[in-house]
Amino acid sequence: MAEYFGVKVEDIFNTMQERFRPEGAQGVDASFGYDITGEGKWKLSVKNGKMTIEKTDDLSGCCVVTVTDGETFVGVNVGKVDGMSAFTSGKLKAEGDLGALGKTAKMFRKFTQAKKEMSVRDYLLDMFGTVEKRFRPAAAEGVDAVFAFDLGGDYGGQWSVIIKDKTCKVIDKIDGKPTTKLEFIDAKDYVDFSLGKIDAQSLLGAARAAVVGDINLVMKWGEFFEKYVDPMAGDVKEQELLVLKKTISVNQRFATGPYMGRFLRALKDKKIIGTKCPKCGRIQLPAREICAECRVRSDEWVEVGPKGQVRYMDYAYYASPDPLTGETRETPYGSIHIRLDGCKGNETFTHFIRRDQIDRIERGWNEKSGTRVRPVWNENRTGSFKDILYFEIDE
Amino acid sequence: MAHRKKNRNVGIIGIGQTKYSSHREDVNQPEMIHEAVQLALDDAGLTMDDIDCIVHGNMELFEMIYQPDLWHVIGTGAYGKSEFRITTGGTVGITLACASDNLVASGMYDIVMAIGFEKLQEGHTTGGITNMADPLWFRHLQTGALTGSGAYDVINEFGEERAKKASMMYRIIMDKHASLNPNAHRSFGLEFEQMDDLIKNSPKLVGDLKLIEMCSQSDGACAVIFACEKKAKALSKKPVWIRDHVTVHREETFFIFGYDEKYPVTMTHSLAAKRLFERNNIKKPIDYFDVFEMYDPASWWAVDWLRDFFLLKGDEHLKLVENKDIMIGGKMPVNPSGGVIGSNPIGATALVRVAEAALQIRGDAGAHQIPTPVNHALASGFGGTMWTVLMMLEKELNW
């Protein structure tokens, strides 16, 4: 199996179990398929806050199947490829319920690449191996000193850093009488101290470290040498950038006014009524008190429909949020513009079509008629959009 | 419609744009705005002390911050100065430019800075746009600015194959333009050979509107400095003159779908274009303008709207695309910047159209500068269900 960005496709799937967040999978009861070209197929099943992952050629029953190549799949998971761009350009496809795909993002902690471990000994060699490179000659003007390091423990050792005539030299022993000597009982403490994991006060206070000789010189170490950079820290920025997450949820009340109110009231009686412009004759649905085009009041009420023909349907694949509830709409769905009987031209009325009939809808165009539809009324009508559940084919 | 000549001429003397991106978590809103403000001041050779008034705009529902101009004062430099705030949907950016032009032309202020911004990653764009629809009915149905109706109309009129190819051709041209603009958000490196593959494989959003054909959701800010003729001439070597602008709004328009030619509907783009060109005595806009920066939210609309804006007939607009006349180097270059499909920080987007049109006139557009001289430029804004703003920019004060 090929590696992409240093990671195999299998690594992503094999770590899913340990990255799984049950709290992000609440209420999810579904299977998700992954078809990775040339690598194989995997099926992720989630139920009751638990998950299973299996490599299988049978992706039946999955609500959505992600189809992509190994490089894109790994790239998106390790953050090297922008998922949206891959999706937009068709490199990553999702077959099925796109809305459901979004749920998987919440279910897993981010994949992190397993790092090669560095031992205490590796660190010590790296730290002293880079001292000469990190030396700042300008800061050591007139300094003639020897720093000795006596580091105990299994991985410890002795080093001397000699500064003289604006040069620096490191040797792996302690020779003669150093200007100052740092003693650490355990070399690991020195590593942790250098990486900023533990502070000098704690070590000195606990007598795990001691300074013999000129302590003022020790304080100047930071001026003489650039800070040691942990090679395992990756590309973490110096300052962590924070993003604050907020959710706004407010209750709202909207007055309908007398015209819209009358229109909504009529829905309770299973009637669709609109207002007709006295000047241009157009019927507006829902009813509006003004014909904005003619700048006159529309006072005449007419009952139309309730059956009519579809003039246009938006076949929506995009998992759009319903701004009134915050819930993601189930996809695909069809929002339709219907010319109700009694209306003409572009005097259309809008609602949804029964979801299982989307693929059977013919749209009108000029003289061509669209599919005939009828409203399906809600049994419990309150004078709102939801008094009509949806329209269905009139057959 | 009553329309009067300006009291005095107005020129653009400073332009600043941030890089447009979906990854601006390194800065907060005022910090991001400040980048554009500083670039515009540097471009004009001015300091904040020289600015008399600021016009600030975006859409509050996208980031859900009411009166963001308060927080943003530390980035806009508006402290202690006159400031106006404008929010008109997708058109907000160009409305900022219109307002700035009017404020200077009126004689009330000599130097005005327009600032448009958006950090779309900090909110939910489609959710925000859906709240545009009236809450009593249409909000239940709307899917933000996403609709397949544009595609449906073009397909019905010109047939599926030709229509789909024209839309994807337009999209690929925009991608090629965006690749020349270092500020552009998205550039995929698309090639014309990929056309059939993209038509087949790019995921669908609504109807025949595919993800790749829709504009991006970007973060970014744009600032443009406007000055009266006297100051513009004194302060700038190459001011770009605002000749005229027109705005046509209409009611919220959801009844235009399912078109029946026996019942023609007034469309704001062609109405705006007719008004603007008539009163400026421009008979053939396609010949007059050297470049057009169009607010193109999706490639389907873009293709369709070329006909409206240039008052074209039949399939002339499709031919412009098919013959690559709209490419940099073509006879009617459209969106050398890569357009809205390339970058869409919505509150800045329509101001970017004005800024990019002005850069083309100055000859300062860099790698996406069109090779022939630019004397006359057109910029457009689009918003709501059908609102249009058009602005004409000129190199010389000679009309």
DSSP annotation string for A37-81: ETTEEEEEEEETTEEEEEE-S--TT-SEEEEEEHHHHHHHHHTSS
Which token pair is A217?
């010189």
Which token pair is A10?
């299998």
Place A238 in a pLDDT band, splitting at 50, 70 and 90. Answer: low
Please report, for chain A, the start and end positions of each structural domain, with discontinuous segments joined by +: 3-107, 120-229, 257-393
Report chain A residues whose CB lies below 8 A from the CB of B188. Answer: 85, 88-89
* Residue B40, domain member (yes or no): yes
Mean pLDDT of the region A3-18: 87
* Residue B243, domain member (yes or no): no
Mean pLDDT of the region B299-328: 96
Place B256 in a pLDDT band, splitting at 50, 70 and 90. Answer: low
**What pLDDT shows up at residue B217?**
87
Higher pLDDT, B362 or A346: B362
Total domain count, chain B: 1
Task: State the residue range of the domain holding B224.
Answer: 10-125+217-228
**Topology at the third CATH level for domain A120-229:** Nonspecific Lipid-transfer Protein; Chain A (3.30.1050)
Q: Is the pLDDT of residue B205 over 90?
A: no
Pick the residue of A253, A350, A387 with the most B CBs within 10 A to test the interface with B by mutation.
Answer: A350
**What pLDDT shows up at residue A230?**
82
Q: For residue A299, which amino acid is it? A: D
- Name the nearest CA neighbour of B378 among B360, B363, B362: B360
Q: Around Cβ B316, how many Cβ atoms within 10 Å?
A: 13
* Residue B341, domain member (yes or no): no
Ranges A320-324, B82-86, B196-200, B233-237: which has the least confidence: A320-324
**What pLDDT shows up at residue B2?**
60
Question: What is the CATH classification number for the domain harbouring B48?
Answer: 3.40.47.10
Mean pLDDT of chain A: 87
Which token pair is B382?
């689009």
- State the Cα–Cα distance between residues B62 and B144, nearest whole angstrom: 11
| Long-range own/partner contacts, residues A335-338 (CB < 8 A, 24 or more apart) | A335/B141, A335/B142, A335/B143, A336/A310, A336/A312, A336/A361, A336/A373, A336/A391, A337/A310, A337/A311, A337/A312, A337/A313, A337/B254, A337/B255, A337/B257, A337/B258, A338/A305, A338/A308, A338/A309, A338/A310, A338/A311, A338/A373, A338/A391
Domain A120-229 in the same topology as domain A3-107? yes
Tens-digit pLDDT profile for residues B336-390: 999 999 999 999 999 999 999 999 999 999 999 999 999 999 999 998 767 899 9
* Percentage of chain B modeled with pLDDT above 70: 97
**What pLDDT shows up at residue B385?**
67
- Where helices occur in A237-309 by DSSP H, the ranges are 257-268
Q: Tell me whether the omega of the peptide bond preceding residue B30 falls within 30 degrees of 0, making it cis.
A: no
* Residue B285, domain member (yes or no): no
Tell me the nearest-neighbour CA distance from A292 into chain B, angstroms.
7
A-B contacts at Cβ under 8 angstroms: 143
Place A380 in a pLDDT band, splitting at 50, 70 and 90. Answer: very high
**What pLDDT shows up at residue A116?**
64
SS3 B180: coil
Tens-digit pLDDT profile for residues A101-110: 777 878 888 8
Tell me the nearest-neighbour CA distance from A48 into chain B, angstroms.
30
- State the Cα–Cα distance between residues A392 and A371, nearest whole angstrom: 10
Report chain B residues whose CB lies below 8 A from the CB of A265. Answer: none
Tens-digit pLDDT profile for residues A21-75: 888 888 889 999 999 998 999 999 999 889 999 999 999 899 999 999 999 999 8
**What pLDDT shows up at residue B259?**
66
Report chain A residues whose CB lies below 8 A from the CB of B144. Answer: 320
Which token pair is B279?
């009163």
**What pLDDT shows up at residue A365?**
83
Tell me the nearest-neighbour CA distance from B187 into chain A, angstroms.
10
**What pLDDT shows up at residue A114?**
65
- Where helices occur in A108-232 by DSSP H, the ranges are 120-129, 131-134, 187-194, 200-205, 215-219, 221-224
Write down the CATH superfamily of domain A3-107.
SCP2 sterol-binding domain (3.30.1050.10)
- State the Cα–Cα distance between residues B263 and B249, nearest whole angstrom: 20
- Name the nearest CA neighbour of B29 among B113, B96, B97, B118: B118
Report chain A residues whose CB lies below 8 A from the CB of B261. Answer: 366
Report chain B residues whose CB lies below 8 A from the CB of A314. Answer: 143, 146-149, 206-207
CB A244 within 8 A of CB A212: no
- Name the nearest CA neighbour of B382 among B269, B274, B278: B269
* Residue B311, domain member (yes or no): no
Report chain A residues whose CB lies below 8 A from the CB of B26. Answer: 241
Mean pLDDT of chain B: 92
* Residue B107, domain member (yes or no): yes
CB contact under 8 A, B202 and A90: yes
Q: For residue B385, which amino acid is it? A: T
CA dihedral B293, B299, B305, B306 (to 10 degrees): 60
**Chain A residue whose CA is closest to B122:** A245
Place B261 in a pLDDT band, splitting at 50, 70 and 90. Answer: confident
Place B257 in a pLDDT band, splitting at 50, 70 and 90. Answer: low
Q: Which residues of A225-249 are buried (b: 16+ CB within 10 A; e: fewer)?
A: beebebeeeeeeeeeeeeeeeeeee
CB contact under 8 A, A350 and B254: yes
**What pLDDT shows up at residue A23?**
83
**What pLDDT shows up at residue A324?**
62
* Residue B277, domain member (yes or no): no
Place A235 in a pLDDT band, splitting at 50, 70 and 90. Answer: low
Tell me the nearest-neighbour CA distance from A317 into chain B, angstroms.
5
Report the residue from B198, B204, B256 with minimal CB separation from A346. Answer: B256
Q: Is the pLDDT of residue B125 over 70?
A: yes
Higher pLDDT, B262 or B380: B380
* Residue B308, domain member (yes or no): no
